Amino acid sequence: MMSDTPETSRQIWDPALRLFHWLLAVAVIGAWLLGHFGPLQMTWHFWLGYTVIGLLIFRLIWGLVGPRNARFASFVKGPRAVLAYARTLPARRAVQVTGHNPLGGWSVLALLLALSAQVLTGLFLDPEDYINTGPLAGWVSTDWNRFALSWHHRLAWLVAALVVLHIGAIAFYRLWKREDLVTPMITGRRRD
């Protein structure tokens, strides 16, 4: 049965943010897989890490000067807004927040911070194999190299957990809330 009202769509994600999102996904997944299952020579892991650094710098700048939905100020909300939004989660209907919802905003921030710490530790680590040394490893002591290596491994699992949580949230919204979050991240538009 056809609806009498025409379906409309509106722009919610700009092209630069969408490109950032998908490039970051490829770089993070690739670096993680190479870090855990890749060859002993980690050149590609390093290049993907440098790509993540560049993307994070872009996101920081875009979060300050980009379009409204890309700006941190538009989606990083206080505890009251997060709790109010969390109370809407059990309802089986889309909430239709423009951009990131208050809970998703904090999820984005957590992932960006974890990735920042991950790449920062990667710059200083030295596993003493004389092959896979971070470019800034020589600037710090051996104790700091080992500290960076230890945290780089721990943060890799934190990043993996946050990515799984992100994918789980997308599945939850699709299956429970009947809201498609993937198509807007491809097309930039959401149907109303």
What are the residue boundaries of the structural domains of the chain, listed by start? 13-181
The band of 130, judged by pLDDT with boundaries at 50, 70 and 90, is low
Q: What is the pLDDT of residues 81-128, one digit of tens each?
A: 999 999 999 998 887 778 899 999 999 999 999 999 999 999 988 877
Question: Mean per-residue pLDDT for 6-15?
Answer: 79
Does position 35 have pLDDT exceeding 90, yes or no?
Answer: no
- Location of structure tokens 């993680």: 32
Check pLDDT > 80 for residue 5: no
Question: pLDDT tier at 7 (50, 70, 90 boundaries)?
Answer: low
Look at residue 3 in the predicted model and tell me its pLDDT. 46
pLDDT band at residue 63 using 50, 70 and 90 as cut-offs: very high
**In terms of C-beta distances under 8 Å and separation of at least 24 residues, what long-range contacts does 80-86 make, across chains too?**
82/106
- CATH entry 3.60.130.10 includes domain 13-181: no
pTM confidence score = 0.88
Q: What is the mean pLDDT of the chain?
A: 89
Share of the chain above pLDDT 90, in %: 65
CA angle 47, 167, 114 (to 5 degrees): 50
